[in-house]
């Protein structure tokens, strides 16, 4: 298959509407979209990514009025969070509308809904004129793509189109929050912080990783965010060279010569934004081991530590 790379949202939307797979930028990471009303197209997403079919997809909307087409109920908690954070890097898990195919939600009776605030994403979704199913546009088990080039590296020849945009603004995926119960339950930490959520809903809880929470978010079971190199979390950079082909990313600068590849991020937001592209660069350079400096759990730090921990196991 030939993958068309275009800067035209019109062209990309046309391809999606004729049952194609289209990767598109959002403020978090690039997504791989298809129509939700074509099971064949949705199934191709799983094939292109090599994604286990028991891992549900989230749907992307350009207008809050589209929520009613995919979910049957917005309780008070859900409405409050949607009012505060849509559009933005938040995915709400809601009771699924019976018209949405279970291929999208992997058999669950809930559905993840997100309204991106990136301008290109909004324009593209508006032109599609209907909700678009889209996981991150990486091969399964690889870091999410934060640039169109990263999408091409993973999916060239496997999808119909890449809508080109800038590198993504946030670099980590959305926060996934289950709002089917009385208080919000964070299933995946992300760009909207726990503190942000608690300001709007003080009883927001964090999933404890127990089996009931895992059942509520099947994706948690699967291995994610794993680069080719071995990832080791460190409190500070190594003072001297301990092996060949080592890389480092963190806030504190290491001593000269300790590592082959170094990325010192300006602050924790930059660290989050640059992590996945660093992993991919390290891979291209044949780095075999990466030291990642730990950060505190505050704000975006919680999502960053979550991704670092997943990458390191
Ligand atoms: O920022 C993002 O969320 C990006 C951009 C493209 O929007 N998308 C993304 O999709 O990261 P994906 O599929 O890579 O991650 C979505 C996560 C998965 O862990 C999945 O298991 C979970 O959300 N999820 C989807 N639907 C769910 C549902 N109904 N209940 C619980 N978890 C769900
Ligand atoms: Mg993903």
Distance separating alpha carbons of residues 102 and 213, to the nearest angstrom:
20
Report the pLDDT value the prediction gives residue 73, as an integer from 0 to 100: 83
Report the pLDDT value the prediction gives residue 213, as an integer from 0 to 100: 47
**Over the stretch 119-155, which tens digit does the pLDDT of each residue have?**
999 999 999 999 999 999 999 989 999 999 999 999 9
Q: Which ligand is nearest to the CA of 185?
A: 1
Report the pLDDT value the prediction gives residue 198, as an integer from 0 to 100: 97
Q: Which atom of ligand 1 is nearest the CA belonging to 116?
A: 7
From 73, 91, 209, 221, give the residue whose CB has the most ligand 1 atoms within 8 Å, as the site to mutate.
91
Give the CA radius of gyration of the chain: 19
68 Cα to the center of ligand 2, angstroms: 25
Give, in order, the Cα–Cα distances in Å from 25 to each of 142, 186, 261, 275.
17, 24, 27, 17
Ligand 1: which residue has its CA nearest to atom 19?
219
Q: Which of 1-10, 94-103, 128-137, 215-224 has the lowest mean pLDDT?
A: 215-224
- Closest C-alpha among 17, 23, 18, 19 to residue 4: 23
pLDDT, averaged across the chain:
94
Ligand 1: which residue has its CA nearest to atom 21?
219
Percent of the chain, pLDDT > 70? 94
- Closest C-alpha among 218, 232, 239 to residue 309: 232
Going by pLDDT thresholds of 50, 70 and 90, the confidence category of residue 215 is low
User: What's the burial of 143, exposed, middle or buried (CB within 10 Å: 0-12/13-18/19+)?
Assistant: buried
**Over the stretch 259-306, which tens digit does the pLDDT of each residue have?**
999 999 999 999 999 999 999 999 999 999 999 999 999 999 999 999
Distance separating alpha carbons of residues 219 and 119, to the nearest angstrom:
28
pTM of the model: 0.96
Q: Are 180 and 81 in contact (CB under 8 A)?
A: no
On the question of pLDDT at 79 being above 50, the answer is yes
**Over the stretch 30-77, which tens digit does the pLDDT of each residue have?**
999 999 999 999 999 999 999 999 999 999 999 999 999 999 989 999
Helices (H), 109-235: 119-128, 148-155, 194-200, 211-216
| Torsion angle of C-alpha atoms 22, 23, 25, 29, degrees rounded to 10 | 140
158 Cα to the center of ligand 1, angstroms: 21
On the question of pLDDT at 240 being above 90, the answer is no
Across 65-94, average pLDDT: 96
Q: Are 23 and 126 in contact (CB under 8 A)?
A: no
Distance separating alpha carbons of residues 72 and 95, to the nearest angstrom:
6
Neighbours of ion ligand 2 (CB under 5 A): 136
């Amino acid at each position: 298959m030939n993958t068309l790379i275009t800067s035209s949202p019109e062209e990309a939307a046309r391809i999606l509407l004729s049952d194609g797979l289209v990767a598109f930028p959002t403020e978090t990471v690039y997504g791989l979209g298809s129509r939700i009303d074509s099971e064949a197209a949705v199934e191709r997403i799983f094939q292109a990514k090599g994604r286990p079919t028991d891992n549900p997809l989230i749907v992307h909307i350009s207008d809050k009025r589209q929520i009613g087409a995919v979910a049957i109920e917005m309780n008070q908690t859900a409405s409050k969070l949607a009012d505060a954070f849509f559009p933005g890097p938040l995915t709400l898990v809601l009771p699924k509308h019976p018209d949405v195919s279970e291929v999208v939600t992997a058999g669950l009776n809930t559905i993840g809904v997100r309204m991106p605030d990136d301008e290109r994403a909004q324009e593209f979704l508006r032109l599609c004129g209907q909700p678009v199913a889209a996981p991150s546009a990486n091969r399964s088990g690889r870091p999410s793509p934060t640039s169109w080039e990263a999408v091409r590296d993973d999916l060239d020849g496997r999808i119909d189109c890449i809508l080109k945009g800038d590198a993504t603004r946030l670099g980590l995926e959305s926060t996934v929050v289950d709002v089917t119960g009385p208080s919000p339950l964070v299933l995946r930490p992300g760009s909207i912080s726990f503190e942000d959520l608690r300001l709007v809903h003080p009883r927001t809880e964090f999933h404890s990783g127990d089996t009931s929470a895992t059942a509520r978010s099947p994706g948690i079971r699967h291995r994610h965010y794993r680069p080719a190199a071995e990832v080791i979390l460190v409190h500070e950079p190594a003072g001297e060279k301990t092996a060949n082909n080592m890389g480092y990313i963190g806030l504190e600068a290491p001593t000269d010569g300790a590592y082959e590849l170094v990325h010192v991020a300006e602050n924790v937001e930059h660290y989050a934004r640059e992590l996945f592209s660093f992993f991919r660069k390290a891979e291209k350079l044949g780095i075999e081991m990466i030291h990642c400096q730990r950060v505190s759990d505050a704000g975006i730090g919680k999502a960053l530590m979550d991704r670092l921990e997943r990458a390191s196991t």
